[in-house]
Structure 1
């Protein structure tokens, strides 16, 4: 009769503990061997163990919300958005039926170059309307003030005001994006997602799960993956002057593959996910001659205080051909530990390899004594 998954894990843990006693000095100081085994058994009671089968795969799929790409403006109220002018912005001002009041753009000169700039004192000056407050005002408010001033010399003036140079306000995108830099805040609403797109998108080494958003002295973590993969539109932000969006590296998004595999090590989890089959493949696969195909485990840490368990342990019976399909469908999470155990004979051979040098030494001493 096949051993249950918990029995296998228990046996493996006990073997590991008893194996320590074979090597001199490799015990826990102050703790007897029996206490160590008791502690292991108590800890195993706090572990949730499951077999990787069709039922678990279906359960995993049901918990995953269908991925889609929401609009970059979703979750951001732009209905009342109005651009506020600042120092350095350039305006064009036109008065209908009064071309003498409009400065035409010269040849090979832009409207921004010939426009009216908001001076360091926050004002602009126009014909018959000097020192109009502009900084912190909307285009509509500046237009209304111009109409009021020009009405003294022109009957019912029709005035057109446009911003042709947005120079006063900027947002910053830094970190793991293809083109980090400065983005102007304009009369078109700029969201956090817009800013990432304008910066060329995330690099291959970027942490796609979260970005850091800083406004003034307040910093918050934006769950970017929840926005794209789960449709959580509350994660988007409307950017203002001085806002900083920083994308971290993906250094922490890894799983660890250990045990009887050809190349133990870490495997990165990218934005498209990582399956158990991919993780084993990246490390060269299991050692066919020594590994226990039924001893492929995935350990996933949990919070004992909130969840009541230390970890989830998933076991794959890789000797079953169907299990290869399950391995391809089982999605790993960052910080998961994939562990492949050795077959019982291989483990015994390892123990012998530790004992043989000692036996050889004893034989050599006996030979010398006999002589």
Structure 2
């Protein structure tokens, strides 16, 4: 009897210990130097509780529209149209000019059968000048062909009566824009007397590569970076996203590696997804992983966890003013928003089609209470079975005695 009591005591203690044991890997903080900030040590457990820094919103037919991004609509760009209408090309070093003086072939070098117009033309030197017979050096950089024509005609009038002058650009080499990144044919695009826009440059470069993030391309001009959405421009017809390119502009199309969505929890195939060019809704994300696990998931607990980006400068300011914040008992800023969708009724998946995913969203499906209990039981079963076998063996031994 005494042995049986001891056995039961050991069994009970082991069961309690097993119940406290959690599955998976573990790291112990014992013996390690745990660093705490001053605010954490002063404020205690309250500020370290992540639950107080999370906002939770329920996705219903009435609320989902509040979280939907404003749809891009087709818009004209009268400012760009006006700029293109007034566009003029200004000559620069490296350009080649064709200058023709009518009725004076001795002043016009013909291209001939073996020389192109660019080979026989007048090269603009690095100092922005060309040399022309009779009149000598002519400053052409920064001028239009009309201005150059008028100046050459005026200076030739001393030697030729009423000269008829024609000037055009045989080769555009002074100005160029650059298209880089996820483009089929990245490289430079010459800027000519025909206005070059972002859309023109992308098309001339062979279009977008399969992995292009067309919602976040950048235009860098004079060290200033601007984000442009080709999705809005090309898919939705928002012409306000288009720009007239200038010399030295850089268009960069990034990869869509940053367009990540993490789907975890009680789904059939947890994995990382990429938002494609047309976007992704919550329902699409769930369907891409085979849906929820109908046997183990809690259909009322489909969550989207979306981090709130903190401005670095503001964060540093908050840390510097931590003492004032503590004095005023102001709560710390939230770090995430959580959106909950209840799909107990499968028709609620229609609501999910109206909720757009954003990069680095986390879709998490919780386990049903019975599933969590079954997991605890599955952990305890080997221990209980082992002690049952041990108890039976001890009882058999006592009976033999």
Task: Give the aligned length.
Answer: 344
CA distance, structure 2, for counterparts of residue 91 and residue 73 of structure 1? 31
Pair 1:164-2:164 in alignment: no
Give 1:99 deviation, angstroms: 4.4
Question: 8 Å contact 2:77–2:239 — kept in the other structure?
Answer: no
Matched ranges for 1:201-280 at <5 A? 201-215=207-221, 218-224=223-229, 228=233, 231=238, 233=240, 236-280=242-286
The equivalent of 2:358 in structure 1 is 333
Give 1:219 deviation, angstroms: 4.6
Pair 1:51-2:64 in alignment: no
Give 1:162 deviation, angstroms: 0.7
CA distance, structure 2, for counterparts of residue 164 and residue 20 of structure 1? 84
Matched ranges for 1:296-315 at <5 A? 296-303=302-309, 308-315=333-340
Pair 1:197-2:203 in alignment: yes
The equivalent of 1:282 in structure 2 is 288
Give 1:303 deviation, angstroms: 4.8
Structure 2, unaligned runs of 5 or more: 1-17, 35-44, 315-331
The equivalent of 1:93 in structure 2 is 99
CA distance, structure 1, for counterparts of residue 384 and residue 78 of structure 2? 71
Matched ranges for 1:104-143 at <5 A? 104-107=110-113, 109-143=115-149
Match for 2:374 among 339, 349, 355?
A: 349
Q: Name the structure, 1 or 2, with higher relative contact order (CA <8 Å, separation 6+).
A: 2
CA distance, structure 1, for counterparts of residue 109 and residue 77 of structure 2? 40
Pair 1:323-2:348 in alignment: yes
The two structures, once aligned, show a CA RMSD in angstroms of: 3.5
TM (norm. structure 2) is: 0.74
TM (norm. structure 1) is: 0.79
Give 1:210 deviation, angstroms: 2.2
CA distance, structure 1, for counterparts of residue 360 and residue 91 of structure 2? 48
Structure 1, unaligned runs of 5 or more: 1-18, 32-37
Q: Deviation per CA, 1:255-284: give whole Å up to 9, x if none.
A: 110001111111111231101111111112
CA distance, structure 2, for counterparts of residue 20 and residue 105 of structure 1? 93
